[in-house]
Amino acid sequence: AQSVSQHNHHVILSEAASLELGCNYSYGGTVNLFWYVQYPGQHLQLLLKYFSGDPLVKGIKGFEAEFIKSKFSFNLRKPSVQWSDTAEYFCAVNAGGSYIPTFGRGTSLIVHP
């Protein structure tokens, strides 16, 4: 069965700091990869996704993620965070044509102004 690991459960940063959230999965074949974000009091929403092509994917609000197949990773990055980026971030993986996406346990990000 596929699994997804988000190693950072809680991250606290100051504004303008750089961000990298880790996501690793356990499946050797074709994968669809997603990052979702849940802002306080709001719905879970898509930040970015990778299906194929350029492994560097750009999403909304200046976020990007890089798919590194050899490392089974899909880390989320942002060069300079803002207070409004305070949220919970979830990595999700769908592997091998499965209809069931597997979510990581989430990373809570707090950005201090």
Residues 32, 22: Cα–Cα separation, whole Å: 16
Q: Out of 89, 104, 109, 111, which residue is the one contacting another protein (CB under 8 A)?
A: 104
| Minimum distance of another protein from residue 102's CB (angstroms) | 7
Q: Out of 45, 80, 82, 84, which residue is the one contacting another protein (CB under 8 A)?
A: 45
User: Phi and psi (nearest 5°) for 23?
Assistant: -145, 120
**Cα 82 from chain centre:** 17
- Interacting positions 47-76 with another protein (CB under 8 A): 49, 51
Report if residue 97 touches another protein, rule: CB under 8 A: yes
Sequence-distant (6+) residues with CB within 8 A of 41 are none
What are the CA-CA distances from residue 52 to residues 57, 68, 101 (Å)?
Answer: 10, 12, 17
| Minimum distance of another protein from residue 54's CB (angstroms) | 18
Interface stretch with another protein, choices 12-20, 54-62, 70-78, 98-106 (CB under 8 A):
98-106
